[in-house]
């Protein structure tokens, strides 16, 4: 194993830590449970509608993103979503690099949800 893959993990390790769930699977996973659910869109997008009980942490605001996620439990799953699934996948990769062991991405994002 190279020094860089020891330091940053390999691509396959990153992808193993990230699960992509469709709307039905995502709803089942978060329903009736206290989960770490985060909308990674902008605050104005969040204000226009979001999944109940979701926190809003904008993935484009890097400093605030990392600072706010410091309060989350790294060993518990984090459920993320955005408008279409692309930003939340980017956020999921960042979270794995920050040490989160399981990140669940909503396939199709909030557009698919509503």
- Give the mean model confidence (pLDDT) for residues 25-37: 94
* 1 pLDDT more than 50: no
Please report whether residue 74 resides in a domain: yes
Helices (H) and strands (E) in the chain, counts: 7, 5
- Tell me the average pLDDT across 17-37: 95
Which strands sit side by side in the sheet containing 78-81, from one edge to the other?
18-21, 103-106, 78-81, 36-39, 55-56
Q: Number of folded domains in the chain?
A: 1
In angstroms, how far is CA 68 from the centroid of its own chain?
13
Residue 19 belongs to what domain range?
Answer: 10-113
The pLDDT tens digits for 61-104 are 999 999 999 999 999 999 999 999 999 999 999 999 999 999 99
Residue at 103 is within a domain = yes
Decide if 108 is inside a domain.
Answer: yes
Provide the CATH number for the domain around residue 101: 3.40.250.10
pLDDT for the residue 11: 63
Banded pLDDT at 114 (limits 50, 70, 90): confident
Is 2 a member of any domain? no
């Amino acid at each position: 194993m190279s020094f860089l893959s020891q330091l940053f993990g390999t691509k396959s390790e990153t992808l193993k830590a990230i699960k992509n769930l469709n709307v039905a699977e995502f709803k089942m996973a978060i329903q009736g449970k206290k989960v770490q659910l985060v909308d990674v869109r902008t605050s104005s997008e969040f204000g226009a509608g979001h999944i109940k009980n979701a926190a809003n942490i904008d993935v484009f605001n890097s400093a605030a993103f990392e600072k706010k996620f410091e309060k989350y439990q790294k060993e518990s799953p984090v459920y993320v979503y955005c408008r279409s699934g692309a930003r939340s996948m980017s956020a999921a990769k960042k979270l794995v690099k920050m040490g989160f062991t399981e990140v669940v991405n909503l396939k199709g994002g909030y557009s698919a949800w509503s």
